[in-house]
Chain A
Amino acid sequence: MLPDEFLSVAKTLSTQTAPSGEPRYRTITGRCYYAAYLATRDAICVRYGFPPDSYLKHELVCNTLAAVDTDPDVRKLGNLLSTLKLSRRHADYTLKKALDETISDDALVDAAAAIALVDAVKDRLPRIEPAAR
């Protein structure tokens, strides 16, 4: 399965009527983060010859990319991932705080932008060592 397929599911959920409400928006938001994260992880694994499905710590991926001052595109990818990850945390854990459709719509836009950036910067992504699960 390709990471983009999570984004396809998220897009489908966003355009169909059921499920509805917050569960729908929260699910879209979570799938968008994983689509972007997995696309980034796969690109790093391919570039550095790591085994497929290697575990790269989420926070480490976000922070490492977001700190690459010499490459605005890589840094933007890191920032998009960080924002998506924060939204995913909100979507999955902070249920008392409302999450409206705007957040899931933002996640769709940001995940698509992140995946496009992954393709553009795949040969410039920094090395991030896999970790034990």
Chain B
Amino acid sequence: MTQPDMTDTRATAPVKFPVGPNDTSSVTLLNIPGEVFAVRPAPGSQDALVCMYDFDSARIDGNSITPAWSDVGGVINAYGLSALLAHAKRLAGEIFGSGSSPTPKLERDEESQSPILVLSLNIRRNQRELRHVFLDRYVAETSVPAGSPPPVIEWTYRDSIAAG
């Protein structure tokens, strides 16, 4: 999860203070791992509430919490995957030619019900032998930011054949 940029304020000395169970503000603390704190940018200015819950290890009634992704662009930005995607596009262009750019999309895992980030690569059928050339370079030349969902590569072909 991307850490909040605590320097992004016009105040010179923002104050960070914890929000506890006895806090009199209208904050409902969830009983899951993580920290909730408030930031006072400057005297007299409004406080900002920052929730840093650990949704990876959190359980509610024993059930894990899964993200509900709906916007693929938001997922890419939130997890810092833009550089990986940009390099994957460059690689696809070099190996398969123009028009073979990976298209990101969201799907859902049937087992865990978690969302999956998919990079769908549409190539010509006669380029199938090059899939592993792409994959070898992709794993060697890109990196997955810590905590990010590794994209799943899907291969589709432009000249589909009918199932026989």
Contacts and interface: CB of A to CB of B under 8 A. Distances in A.
B116 interface: yes
B112 A57 contact: yes
Contact of A21 (B114, B144, B163): B163
Given A100-B162, A101-B161, 13 more contacts: A22-B163, A59-B109, A66-B152, A67-B150, A69-B143, A75-B139, A79-B135, A79-B153, A86-B107, A101-B163, A102-B125, A102-B161, A113-B132
A76 interface: yes
B94 interface: no
B150 A83 contact: no
A58 interface: yes
Interface of A is mostly: helix
Interface residues on A, range: 20 to 34
A89 B118 CA distance: 13
A35 interface: no
Contacts of B87: none
Contacts of B67: none
Interface string A22-36: 100100000000000
A86 B110 contact: no
Contact of B160 (A87, A98, A113): A98
28 contacts: A21-B164, A22-B163, A25-B163, A58-B111, A59-B109, A62-B150, A62-B152, A66-B150, A69-B144, A75-B139, A76-B136, A78-B150, A79-B135, A79-B138, A79-B150, A79-B152, A79-B153, A80-B135, A82-B152, A82-B153, A83-B153, A83-B154, A86-B152, A93-B110, A100-B162, A100-B163, A101-B164, A102-B161
